[in-house]
A and B are shown apart, each in its own frame.
Chain A
Amino acid sequence: MRIGVMICHCGNNIASTVDVEAVAAAAREFPDVVFATDHMYACSDPGQRKIEEVIRELKLDGVVVASCSPRMHEVTFRRAVERAGLNRYMFEMANIREHVAWISLDRKRNTAKATDLVRMAVEKLRVDRPLTPKSFEVQKRVLIVGGGVAGIQAALDCADGGLDVVLVERRQAIGGIMSKLDKTFPTIDCSVCVLGPKMVDAGQNPRITLHALSEVEEITGYVGNFDVKIRKKSPFVDWNKCTGCGACQEKCPSKKVPDAFNENVSLTTAINIPFPQAIPKRATINADYCLRLTKGKCGVCEKICPAGAIDYEMKDEIVTEKVGAVIAATGIDLFDYKKCGEYGGGRYPDVITSLQYERMLSASGPTAGHIKRPSDGKEPKTVAFIACVGSRDRSLNRPYCSGFCCMYTAKQAILTRDHIPDSRAYVFYMDIRANGKGYEEFIRRAQEEYGVEYVRGRVAQVIPVDGPNGPQMLVRGADTLLGRQVELKADLVVLAVGVEAAHGASALAEKLRISYDAYGFFLESHPKLRPVETNTVGVFLAGACQGAKDIPSSVAQASAAAGKVLALLSKDKLESDPQIALVQAIRCIGCGKCERTCPFGAIRMRELRDGSLRAEVVETVCQGCGICSVTCPVRAIQLQHFTDSQLLAEVNALCRTWDETTES
């Protein structure tokens, strides 16, 4: 065999703590190595061309590159050797950056270890075999979980690109948090006015199948061929018949139902349509509060529904869909303000969350756009906004910044002055984050044009107090710029609550087999370069489920995810990874242990004509984890490119040289 070795300097990254020339020199002496050199940047254009050149000129059978982690550039180098005519699996990488240069400053030991790793790679390459990927057909359909602005945007982009879309939303209507907003920063556009056309489009688009009031129950399969089971929860109303006229809502006697859409600012009825612009505009019965469903009484809505759509016997339905890719767009939920006992959220009625305030500001909201104190319905004259409630707070296990609260607080302060011209708005802040386009100017506008008072200092406590005109809330804060304690008697206190991953996001992540961080936000492949992909092929991320972000960023990310999906499914067939398990039928004794231990269900037992069983790998499902090959008692099932012989070759290479590298 003829092997070429390249040791990369990676600029200073490797060369500063590893003697790369010495490693190359050592490699030249290894069996089957006919060429070894060092290079400044192996992954660069000249670096790759050098590799290709050497393969052709010296008629190499395989190449070893000692550089960074395979996660960085294995694909790059495999393509390079393939361009030069080799099978891309006749290539090995030794990680002498993350595993050597970046963990120790001891040049002597690093060089010895790097040499060992290169020796191991060469020995493995000597027993590597060419592998051929197979190709399989794909479903040109995409599942989008979550119908907020990100999910809607991704759905529209995918549909425009010619894909069929299955959009699953767990609430009874799409629109997410954006549908609850009154206005959006920095343009003070009416939120539902700009979102509405998109929602209608998503609901009417012939390529988009919308499953509202539904959740993903189970998902199996692999990229290009996912099988999804969706649970469509029963609304107890036949949505094919319901016209959304709202007559049921008017007559329903169960009127003390917490109104989730309006953030519990108001109460609603057991049967309801959440808001006038809802898509789908269909009624849903809340089974916990319906008199008919809980006590067998009433039944008024069934009697008066002109379309005869009410069906108290309706059950949940399971629907199966086949899709080629998945986009997770599950968004966020608000931090629970009751966790900040010092602010009295949940105890004092005049301490509310920003989203509750937003519903009050909204003309189609529970107070018809009139700002009213929850305690007595009076219009407030002094409104205090407290920033960073549940954000930037280690003591509450929410150390991160939620990113858009500074902006929405400024917006709400501006709107307060719009609604109540003789009011005074105070914002108690620590820092102002306003890094989007037009954002800093917006904050200045709040302060300069609208006279919103910004006080720099975190609020310690909010307690009820008797003011000159009746009960008020005393806000005890500080002005750190002045170095003084301050206090304010406010009529209304609005907490700028932070955000967290949508409740249940981690359960969905487990189903999709994607990773999530300590706070439930889904993990992207690479924080800088691959923000919409996950480490699970075929599953992408869009919107705030990946990390708190504002609407423009969510929309941009949604289109990016759609772009990735369109690219993925633009081919009719996808290549499967040949680094999977393979059964040598002649050795297999049919014990079935591999089938039982496979976490992906990729192994099937096949019956031969003589009645004996043999294991068989479903190539497209196998993820190449190797558990089966460890389980097999007779070593009949082997992970290609990581067979026992190949791994033992590495072990032998290392152990054989051990006594040469022992030092005092």
Chain B
Amino acid sequence: MSVRLGYYPGCSQGSSAAEYDISTRACCKALDVELVDVPDWTCCGSTPAHTVDHHLAGALSARNLRQAEGAGLASVTTPCPSCLAALKTADLHLAEPAFRTEVERLLGGPAPGHVDCKSVLQVLYEQIGAEAVTAKVKKPLAGLRVAPYYGCLLSRPPALMAFDDPENPVSMDALLRACGAEIVDFAYKTECCGAAFGMPRLDVMTRLSARILGAAVEAGADCVAVACPLCQMNLDLRQGQVDSAAGRAASNLPVPYFTQLMALALGLSDADACLNKLVVPLEPALAKAAARAREAAAAKAAKEAAKKQSKPAAADAAKPEAEKEASCA
């Protein structure tokens, strides 16, 4: 089953979230998802736009939806939850005549019709499915303990995002499990990391990200898998700032994008997984996981061998008992 969608990368994919874009494109290719870049896309405005004016935000997003529509793309996917929220919100409110009129005034032209927008996570989970992923896994992430961190927007609010459970989402869990990873119990799946406050109010952001990293460490995770460029930046690039604000030693907890983990499991190239772009390296965790997996395999083999040995011994043990009974009778 092949899927073809518009792809809206978002502004961070060219720079600070390069590894997300690269690994997403690689995974999609490997899983038969054809991504067609929205031609001549521009910034959706993200958080700053909607905190200034809803019509401005709507217009910036509407331009991109119009570009997609013009290229015959009825469906668009994006890796960034903030872009997704912007596009979906615009799409939703363009159905209201007053909103549409004002957006068209700002655009200086007609607004688009309905365009279906989804996250890359949603596409992989719903349209490809965990089973199809497992079928293509070549190097299962055996022994790797992952804390799946969805961030605050992917499934919230449910009325807008219409995807997964807003309190306990499971889509990333399922995809990573399909890749052979072990998912740890993590209660902070949808808790906000501090969003765009990294620059203007670092103190606010570090406090929130500290809780998430701390919870992941407590849960025994080797890494935190993410699906949002801002979450990744706050937890990875800024991990040093987070730990120092929390007054604790370095967490050394890698924060790969879930698509990077999938790329590894699907046996894609190093360039596709681009682990080298992570600030906190993932390699030590992978090595630990591999060792854990080897130990587990060895223990299992030993158990099987022990079971085989004890069976004939048990048969011998039963014989003298039977003979004893016979003699008593």
The yes or no answer to A660 lying at the interface (CB within 8 A) is no
Q: Which of A430-473 contact B (CB under 8 A)?
A: 461, 463-466
Chain A residue with minimal CB distance to B169? Answer: A341
Chain A 337-356 per-residue mask, 1 if CB under 8 angstroms from chain B, else 0:
00001100001000000000
Chain B positions within 8 Å of A464 at CB level: 185, 187
Q: B187 near A341 (CB under 8 angstroms)?
A: no
Q: B167 near A341 (CB under 8 angstroms)?
A: yes
Chain B residue with minimal CB distance to A463? Answer: B187
Chain A positions within 8 Å of B165 at CB level: 341
Q: Which of B187-242 contact A (CB under 8 A)?
A: 187-188, 218
Which of B166, B185, B188, B218 contacts A341, CB < 8 Å?
B166
Q: Interface residue count for B (Cβ, 8 Å)? A: 8
Q: Which of A401-449 contact B (CB under 8 A)?
A: none
Q: B187 near A342 (CB under 8 angstroms)?
A: no
Chain A positions within 8 Å of B166 at CB level: 341
Q: A342 near B218 (CB under 8 angstroms)?
A: no
Chain A positions within 8 Å of B168 at CB level: 341, 347
Q: B187 near A466 (CB under 8 angstroms)?
A: no
Chain B residue with minimal CB distance to A464? Answer: B187
Least CB distance, B165 to chain A, in whole angstroms: 6
Q: B167 near A466 (CB under 8 angstroms)?
A: no
Chain B residue with minimal CB distance to A340? Answer: B167
Chain A positions within 8 Å of B218 at CB level: 466
Q: Which of B149-184 contact A (CB under 8 A)?
A: 165-168
Taking residues whose C-beta sits less than 8 angstroms from the other chain, chain A's interface range is under 10
Chain A 356-399 per-residue mask, 1 if CB under 8 angstroms from chain B, else 0:
00000000000000000000000000000000000000000000
Chain A positions within 8 Å of B167 at CB level: 341-342, 461
Chain B positions within 8 Å of A347 at CB level: 168
Q: Tell me, in angstroms, the Cα distance from A464 to B185 when the chains sit together.
A: 10
Q: Tell me, in angstroms, the Cα distance from A613 to B167 when the chains sit together.
A: 67
Q: Tell me, in angstroms, the Cα distance from A465 to B211 when the chains sit together.
A: 12
Q: Tell me, in angstroms, the Cα distance from A320 to B329 when the chains sit together.
A: 62
> Which residue among B167, B168, B185 has the maximum number of chain A CB atoms within 10 Å of its CB?
B167
Q: Tell me, in angstroms, the Cα distance from A33 to B168 when the chains sit together.
A: 74
Least CB distance, B147 to chain A, in whole angstroms: 14
Least CB distance, B217 to chain A, in whole angstroms: 12
Q: Which of B254-279 contact A (CB under 8 A)?
A: none
Q: Tell me, in angstroms, the Cα distance from A461 to B167 when the chains sit together.
A: 9
Chain B positions within 8 Å of A342 at CB level: 167
Chain A positions within 8 Å of B185 at CB level: 464
Least CB distance, B119 to chain A, in whole angstroms: 20
Chain B positions within 8 Å of A465 at CB level: 187
Chain A residue with minimal CB distance to B219? Answer: A464
Least CB distance, A495 to chain B, in whole angstroms: 14
Least CB distance, B157 to chain A, in whole angstroms: 10
Q: Tell me, in angstroms, the Cα distance from A198 to B176 when the chains sit together.
A: 58
Chain A positions within 8 Å of B187 at CB level: 463-465
> Which residue among A461, A463, A465 has the maximum number of chain B CB atoms within 10 Å of its CB?
A463
Chain B positions within 8 Å of A461 at CB level: 167
Q: Which of B62-99 contact A (CB under 8 A)?
A: none
Chain A residue with minimal CB distance to B218? Answer: A466
**Subset of 13 A-B contacts with CB under 8 Å:** A341-B165, A341-B166, A341-B167, A341-B168, A342-B167, A347-B168, A461-B167, A463-B187, A463-B188, A464-B185, A464-B187, A465-B187, A466-B218
* A-B CB proximity, top 7 nearest: A341-B167, A463-B187, A342-B167, A341-B168, A464-B187, A341-B165, A466-B218
Chain B residues near A (Cβ < 8 Å): 165-168, 185, 187-188, 218
Given contacts A341-B167, A461-B167, A466-B218, list 4 more A-B pairs with CB under 8 A. A341-B166, A463-B187, A464-B187, A465-B187
